[in-house]
Amino acid sequence: MSSLQAKFADHLRELGLYDQVDASVWKKKWIVDIRAVGDGRSVLKYLAPYVHRVAISDNRIVSVDEKTVTFRYTPSKSRQSKTRSVSGHQFVGGFAQHVLPSRLQKIRYYGWMSPNSGISPEEVRWLLAIALGLGVHADVGESGASSTQEISVQGVRRRNSERFS
């Protein structure tokens, strides 16, 4: 057991969690690659795409034959795409490294963020402001008449001011 494994095991014992770890974990060799990441922005920039989309889309795969897969990629800090050919085994291995763990889910848009939602982000902001009791104004039509939104906002504002007074 490496010194890192021993320290980790000791910490888990202190927390009462050691017995929840499968014994085979402590017999394996751990490969630890720890690097300073500053304030985490670079890590977030690297990981963010993987929670929104798959590791590689079909349109980036240029060709496939019995031995190799050729795909297009854009290196970090570059705007020019390049192609790379690897063996099928290497491709699947690289792809598998970007598959999310079993309990982690890819972000899906649902509710008002869903493409099928009938409500716009502006309407959500407006409703949120009303719910929080913030000052909200609605557009007045060209004729100068108040819209029904403005009337309802004033009614909500009045109720909120009575509630918080």
Task: Specify the length of the chain in residues.
Answer: 165
Integer Cα distance of 75 and 87 in angstroms: 20
Is 122's pLDDT higher than 70? yes
Residue 124 domain boundaries: 111-164
Same-domain status, 154 and 134: yes
Same-domain status, 45 and 91: yes
Average pLDDT for 104-112: 70
Tell me the per-residue pLDDT of 24-61, one tens digit each, with 9 for 90 and over.
988 888 888 777 777 878 777 777 776 666 778 888 89
